[in-house]
Amino acid sequence: MRLLRDLKLDEVFVLDIETVPCVGCHDDLHDLLKELWEHKCHALRREKGWISHHDHIAPLPDTLHAATLFEQAGIYAEFGRVVCISIGRFRTAPTGELRFSVKSFYGHDEKKLLQEFSEVISHRPHFRLCGHNGKEFDFPYLSRRMLINGLELPPHLDTAGKKPWEITHLDTMELWKFGDRKSFTSLSLLAAMFGIPTPKDDIQGKDVARVYYEENDLPRIARYCQKDIITTARLLLKFRGDEPFGDEAVQYADEATVLMRRS
């Protein structure tokens, strides 16, 4: 891809986020949010064709009740929250070899991890953000949660009023679409197509809430998130026609610099 051949890799942040429902279960929602979640579920049922305009008073299958559907709440910024952000940077070693540096921000205090992440990327406002489905999920989700937490948006996410060509975000899923708007291709599938190791060799996105609320294992979630950005970075290189870096080229942040905030 010509666009990517001219890309300055050392001015790209590759990122991925992990999110969970705002509380551990539907019963923990306060009354107003329960009511608003029910409204959201009703809209989802109509959107997905689970009910018609004429049978909404019919009994619903258990799988369509608001309490059961709450497992999906983490994908909506209004009913979820961020528990991990991983970012990666391409670097060139003095010997000319490509390196990829990885850092994660994770914890129970969402505002603090969002603030720490924002401070890091704000120091490099000319960098481009890259993610897989980042334009539809990660970038807007981060922006919404920052506003909810009363934080100022970093330049990369402050896109209100900008023209489409002024927004320089990269999205490996969008690049793969080649204009086909109805297509969704997972990171795992693209990794398989290009011979890149799968990032889903431990847990998957649907497991994150369980690992967070039941196992309280944030480091495991961070490792999963890091695998996603490593895979996305390798995929970006493949799209450029370059060979991806190996595991030995990945440099992780020191344990002392990894942000862990516990309530």
Domain ranges in the chain are 2-22+79-261, 26-72
Q: In this structure, are residues 153 and 147 in contact, taking their beta carbons and an 8 Å threshold?
A: yes
Read off φ and ψ for residue 129, nearest 5 degrees. Answer: -90, 140
Place of tokens 């064709």: 49
Per-residue pLDDT at 50: 57
Output the CA angle 108-138-195, nearest 5 degrees.
110
What gap in Å lies between CA 95 and CA 103, rounded to an integer?
A: 23
Question: For residue 105, what is the enclosing H or E element?
Answer: strand 98-107
* Domain at 2-22+79-261: CATH architecture: 2-Layer Sandwich (3.30)
Output the CA angle 205-40-32, nearest 5 degrees.
110
**Packing angle, helices 110-122 and 139-148, rounded to 10:** 120
pLDDT level of residue 143 (50, 70, 90 thresholds): very high
Q: What pTM does this model have?
A: 0.89
What gap in Å lies between CA 171 and CA 4, rounded to an integer?
A: 11
Question: How confident is the model over 191-203, as a mean pLDDT?
Answer: 88
| pLDDT tens track for 198-226 | 877 788 889 999 999 999 999 999 999 99
Q: Is 194 exposed, middle or buried (0-12, 13-18, 19+ CB in 10 A)?
A: middle
pLDDT of 259 > 70? The answer is: no
Q: Does residue 119 sit in helix, strand or coil? A: helix
Q: Please indicate whether residue 5 or residue 62 has the higher confidence score (pLDDT).
A: 5
Least confident span in 24-38, 93-107, 131-145, 178-192: 178-192
pLDDT of 260 > 50? The answer is: no
Q: In this structure, are residues 19 and 74 in contact, taking their beta carbons and an 8 Å threshold?
A: yes
